[in-house]
Amino acid sequence: MGKFLRIATFLVLLAAPAAAQPKIVTSFPMLQSLAAAVSGTEPESIVRGGGSPHTYSMRPSDARALEQADLVIWIGEDYEGFLERPIKALGNRARVLELSDAPGVVKLKSREGGVWEGDGHAHGHTHGHKHADIDGHMFLDPKNAAAFGRAIAAALSEIDAANAARYRANAEALATKLEALDADLAAALRPLAGKPFIVFHDSLQYMEKRYGLTPAGSITVSPERRPSAQRLQRLRDRIARSKTICVFAEPQFDQALVRTVVDGTKARTGTLDYVGAEVPPGADHYFSVMRGLAKDLSSCLSQG
């Protein structure tokens, strides 16, 4: 009897921390990865499997996940426009961490006009928000990712004070790993300075600034509507004028269309996988996607 009680007490003690673990829901896999590293758990991700945070539509199961969350983590209305209303509807039922407001995050303005064609992103800055035209791809800067990690630790510590020291230690370990990633990316991308490239959607600004890349603009071509012969000619002229070495599409993008755009120019086509559909979720996901992007960039640009 006494032994049984001791075992039962032991089991309750073992189970208690697990039961108290805050339920975390993140908006997309790169943030799920950072939250996994800091929490030591496997948080949920609303967007997954190669979906785009720009165009995602909420499913009923996503709404249920949000309602059961203790902590919801997103960049903010400048990036995941689809989450703006669902998060507002949550009211005070969950703590919401808007990472674009985290201390120490470097933010850049959205580019538009000139060589930067408006890309039809569902940016939420039409409703008179505090943010004005901020480029939401700030997670593609490892230093911002470290700031995100510390903000996630602070938010988790408010919900689960008993484990505050562990969250802080995890965030610092993450920051150390991110410093190594930053050094690796800097070394890998340094030889690409002065090699112009064009992207199909303006997603790389944070990496360009951090690592001294040489962007020549963005091209908006809707996969649903083939560009006219006139428009194709204008795009080819732009590629020639800027001496563009590579035009980068994304994995979900129609590769035939990309080849049509560069046809008759000296540019090559490449693919930038910043969604990481094939990369498993979890703490390593962020690092794999970032290293993959550096590889995508250098495998196309270093030939030129």
Q: Which residues make up the interface to Zn ion (CB under 5 A)?
A: 203
State the minimum distance, in angstroms, from the CB of residue 236 to Zn ion.
24
57: tokens are 């539509």
CB 251 within 8 A of CB 271: yes
CB nearer to Zn ion: give 62 or 80: 80
CB nearer to Zn ion: give 38 or 213: 213
CB nearer to Zn ion: give 55 or 68: 55
State the minimum distance, in angstroms, from the CB of residue 287 to Zn ion.
19
State the minimum distance, in angstroms, from the CB of residue 201 to Zn ion.
5
Residue 75: half-sphere exposure toward Cβ, Cα within 13 Å: 27
CB nearer to Zn ion: give 170 or 203: 203
Counting every residue written for the chain, the total comes to 304
3-state secondary structure of 234: helix
CB nearer to Zn ion: give 163 or 203: 203
Listed in sequence order, the residues at least 6 apart from 119 whose beta carbon sits closer than 8 Å to its beta carbon are 201, 202, 218, 220
The residue number with the shortest CB distance to Zn ion is 203
State the pairing for strand pair 268-271/215-218. unpaired
State the minimum distance, in angstroms, from the CB of residue 53 to Zn ion.
7
CA 132 to chain CA mean position, Å: 19
State the minimum distance, in angstroms, from the CB of residue 166 to Zn ion.
33
State the minimum distance, in angstroms, from the CB of residue 82 to Zn ion.
13
Complete DSSP assignment for 77-126? TTT-GGGHHHHHHHTTSSEEEEGGGSTT----BPP-BTTB--------TT
CB nearer to Zn ion: give 292 or 304: 292
Q: How far apart are CA 79 and CA 54, in angstroms?
A: 7
3-state secondary structure of 192: helix
CB nearer to Zn ion: give 175 or 290: 290
3-state secondary structure of 31: helix
State the minimum distance, in angstroms, from the CB of residue 270 to Zn ion.
17
Of 182, 174, 166, 177, nearest to 149 by C-alpha is: 174
